[in-house]
């Protein structure tokens, strides 16, 4: 009898502890998903050195590096850690392209008081594309570059039109799927307020897409990219990059990414001379 009572008490304590974890995950999930940090928007020395300037217009904030004779736009939606100031490596990655480059600063990042989240990210992405289209007298093609969480925002923006191609680095089906894989013992899909259902959005756009993923990625395992490439309604290709993970894919895969993106843009035939 005493043993049964002890087992029951342990079970009750265990369930109580589990319940506390579930409640904490629900109420503190933004702090587990979004990690803004670094320089405030417009105070980024690295961007200045790279020749980019801060722009704030039409409800969006971004860094712009213009190139004389630019034939198209490359618009970067970065990952969830750090901010736009930390993404000057994209300028090097695409240095051979005749493109104006833009790096969006998300709401809630770069000393912004707004709350980051799925809606804020996706709305910001759409606003930025609309802003660029509205102000570009040359009506140049727009290619969106999504990185990690930014691949979802880029995919959503493509569903709203005005996008000529998607370049997605470390893509996923949904963040709910990724989180569930890491926390298999929690009802993650029921708890997440920011699921980023890129799997559904991919099926709502004809925009051509090319995906890059590190085979050794242990943050967003490559199985999710292998699933996601098949969710696109339009043409899509997955380039698997061996011997690299999540955080070193741009460095380790630089040559492959640059070459494949160039071929991708050229094959679409929307850019003259590329």
Taking the C-alpha atoms of residue 179 and residue 103, their distance in angstroms, rounded to an integer, is 26
How confident is the model at residue 127, as a pLDDT?
98
Secondary structure of 186-227 as H, E, C letters: CCHHHHCCCCCCHHHHHCCCCCCEEEEEECCCCCCCHHHHHH
Q: Which helix (H) or strand (E) holds 152?
A: helix 149-159
Interval 123-149: pLDDT, tens = 999 999 999 999 999 999 999 999 999
How confident is the model at residue 149, as a pLDDT?
97
Interval 219-228: pLDDT, tens = 999 999 999 9
Strand blocks (E) in the chain: 53-57, 60-65, 72-77, 99-105, 142-147, 165-169, 209-214, 236-241
> Is the entire prediction scored with pTM above 0.85?
yes
Pairing of strands 60-65, 53-57: antiparallel
How confident is the model at residue 14, as a pLDDT?
56
Burial pattern 202-239, b for ≥16 Cβ within 10 A else e, equals: beebebbbbbbbbebbeebbbebbebbbebbeeebebb
Asked if residue 29 has pLDDT above 90, the reply is no
Q: Which helix (H) or strand (E) holds 121?
A: helix 118-135
**Contact between 219 and 81 (Cβ < 8 Å):** no
Asked if residue 24 has pLDDT above 80, the reply is no
196: left (phi over 0), alpha (psi -120 to 50) or beta: left
Taking the C-alpha atoms of residue 39 and residue 16, their distance in angstroms, rounded to an integer, is 41
């Amino acid at each position: 009898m005493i043993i049964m009572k002890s087992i029951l008490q342990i079970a009750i304590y265990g369930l109580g502890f589990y319940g506390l974890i579930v409640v904490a995950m629900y109420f503190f999930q933004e702090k587990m998903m979004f990690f803004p940090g670094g320089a405030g928007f417009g105070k980024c020395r690295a961007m200045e050195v790279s020749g980019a300037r801060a722009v704030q217009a039409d409800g969006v904030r971004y860094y712009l590096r213009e190139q004389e004779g630019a034939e198209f736009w490359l618009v970067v939606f970065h990952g969830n850690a750090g901010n736009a100031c930390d993404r000057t490596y994209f300028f090097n990655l695409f240095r051979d392209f005749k493109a104006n480059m833009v790096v969006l600063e998300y709401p809630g990042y770069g000393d912004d008081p707004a709350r980051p989240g799925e809606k804020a990210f996706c709305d910001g992405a759409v606003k930025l594309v609309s802003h660029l289209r509205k102000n570009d007298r040359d009506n140049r093609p727009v290619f969106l570059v999504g990185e990690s969480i930014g691949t979802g925002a880029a995919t959503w923006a493509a569903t709203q039109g005005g996008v000529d191609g998607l370049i997605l680095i470390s893509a996923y089906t949904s963040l709910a799927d990724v989180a569930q894989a890491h926390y298999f013992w929690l009802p993650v899909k029921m708890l997440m307020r920011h699921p980023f259902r890129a799997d559904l959005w991919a099926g709502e756009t004809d925009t051509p897409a090319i995906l890059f993923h590190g085979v050794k990625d242990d943050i967003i395992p490559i199985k999710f990219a292998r699933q996601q490439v098949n969710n696109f309604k339009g043409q899509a290709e997955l380039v698997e990059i061996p011997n690299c993970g999540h955080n070193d894919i741009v460095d380790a895969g630089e040559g492959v990414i640059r070459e494949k993106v160039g071929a991708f843009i050229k094959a679409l035939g929307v850019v003259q001379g590329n």
